Amino acid sequence: MLTENIYINGEWIETSDEIASQNPANTQEVVARVSKANRETAQQAIDASVEAQDEWESLTQPERGSYLRDAAEVVEDRFDEITDLVVRELGKTEGSARGEVQRTVDLLNYYAEVARDKGGIAPPSASEQTLTYTKREPWGTAAVITPWNFPIAIPTWKIAPALVAGNTVVFKPASLTPGTGAALVRAFDQADLPAGVLNFVPGSGSEVGDEIVTSDSVDVVSFTGSSEVGEHVYQSATSDGKRIQTEMGGKNPIIVDETADIDHAVQLTIDGAFNGIAGQACTATSRAIVFDEIYEEYLEQLLESVENLTVADPTKSEADLGPKVSQSELDSDIEYIEIGENEGANLAVGGDQLTDGEYENGFFVEPTVFTDVEPDMRIAQEEIFGPVLAVLSVSGFDEAVSVANGVDYGLTASLCTNDLSRTQRFTRDIETGVVKVNQTSTGVGMQMPFGGRKKSSSETFKEQGRQALDFYSHEKAVYVTHREG
C-alpha cells in the first residue's frame, strides 16, 4: 500500500485526516492512503505558490522546461511502478495504463521542447528606428483540478504548460485516485523543482476545490470533470474575473456510412466504447449512427464482437475491460441500462452487473449495446460514462450529421467512410471540437489542440499543443525606439 502526504512549499506534510483509495476490481484492497488537505492547508499552498512565482518567472522558458525533462526521466525510471498504481487505483487494463504513463513521459518532453520555441514574435516596424515585438508573460498562480479517469496524463497536460509559461501551480487531484496524483508530484520533487512552484492538495471539491477556485490570489483555473461540477467551477471562477478553462463531458458519435470497411468500423466502435477503460472517458464512443444499407451487417459483427469481450481484473492479460471506478459510477450505469429498457430500446447484448466469482468484490458490469434507439431517448442524449453503446440507424448522410449534432455535447465525432467528399462535408458540418475520420473517437495527439463545444467545454481556450500556452500566458506588444545622442 502506498502512503503519501500533501505537498506544500517543497515539503511533504502529514495531516490529521486522509483519503483512502481502493482497488475497484477488489474493494478489499486499499491501494493508497494520502493525507487530506482542508481550506487552511489549501490556502497555505496558495500562499506558497504566490511567494515562489516571481523567482520562477525570472527563469527563462528553456530553463523552466529543463525541470520537465528531468521529471520525465523520473517517471520513466518508475514506469512499471506507476503503471501498476494506475491499474489498481483506477481499474484500467495494463495496456491502457502503460499507454497513459508513456503519454505522461511524452507530454513532459514535448513541453520541454515547446519551451524552446514558443514565445513572442517580432513583426516588421513602420520605422527603422523602432523595434516592435511581442512577449509572453505568465498570469501568476494556476489552480489545476483534474478527474480520476486519466489520473496522471491529464494533470500533466495542464501542469506542464502552466509551468513552462512561468506560472506556479496548486494541484487538486480526484479523490478516487490521489495516489497516482502524488506519483506525478513526486517526479517533480525528485527533479528538484524549486519549492512552492508546484503544490499538491488532495481533498474534497466542496472544501479544497472551492478554496482554490475562489481565492483572490489564484489567477487562472483549469478544470476537467463532469459538466455539472464544471458549470459550478466556471461560475465561481468567472464571478471575480479569473481566466478559466473547463473540459467536461461528451456524447460522442461514430457515423458508419455504406462505403465504410465494416470490419474496421466495428473495431473502431469497440475500441472507442469499451476497451481499456470501460467507457469511462469523455471522448468515449457513446453512439453508433449507421446507414440503413449496412445496418444489419454492421450490427451482426458488432454484437458478436461485444459478446467476445473479456471483463476481468485489469491485472490479467486477457482483460479487454476492467471494473467501473466506484459504486456510484456502477450504479449510474445500471440506472441508464434500466432507463434504456424502459424507453423501449432493445437490449441486444449485456446489461447485467457481474457479481459472482472473481467479480464478487469489484464494480463490474457487462459491456452493453442497445439497438432500435431513437435520437430523443435519454440513452442517446445524456452522457453515461460507462460501457453502454446506443446504435441508431439513419437513411443518409444529412440525417446522420443531424442526429450526431442533436445533443448538448460537442467534444469528438468520428466518421467511417471511403467517400472523400463526405469527409470534407463532415469536417465542416459536425459540431465538435475534435473531428476524426476512419479513427476511433478516443485518443488525441499531444501536438494538437484539444477542446469541445456546447456543454463539453467553456469554448474559451484549448488544451494541449502549443495552444495550451495561450491559456497560461498573456501577450504584451512592445515598441522600442532608439534615439541617437
Please identify every residue annotated as catalytic.
282
Q: What is the DSSP string of 49-117?
A: HHHHHHHHHHS-HHHHHHHHHHHHHHHHHTHHHHHHHHHHHH---HHHHHHHHHHHHHHHHHHHHHHHH
Question: Dmax over Cα atoms in the chain, in whole Å?
Answer: 89
Can you name the residues that pair with 224 across neighbouring β-strands?
Answer: 247
Question: Distance between CA 261 and CA 366 in Å, rounded?
Answer: 27
Whose cell is 491499474? That residue is: 87
Whose cell is 502524488? That residue is: 182
Show the cell assigned to 11. Answer: 515539503
User: Around 253, how many Cα atoms within 13 Å sit in the side-chain half-sphere?
Assistant: 30
Q: What is the DSSP string of 125-171?
A: PSSTTEEEEEEEEE-SEEEEE--SSSTTHHHHHHHHHHHHTT-EEEE
Q: What is the DSSP string of 450-472?
A: B--EETTB-SS--BSTTTHHHHH
Asked if residue 340 lies in contact with residue 43, where contact means CB atoms within 8 angstroms, the answer is no
Sort strands 453-454 and 409-410 into parallel, antiparallel or unpaired: antiparallel
Nearest to 247 by CA among 474, 36, 460, 21: 460
Angle CA(72)–CA(77)–CA(79) in degrees, nearest 5?
A: 85
Q: How many CB atoms lie within 10 A of CB 295?
A: 18
Can you name the residues that pair with 457 across neighbouring β-strands?
Answer: 247
Question: Distance between CA 5 and CA 290 in Å, rounded?
Answer: 50
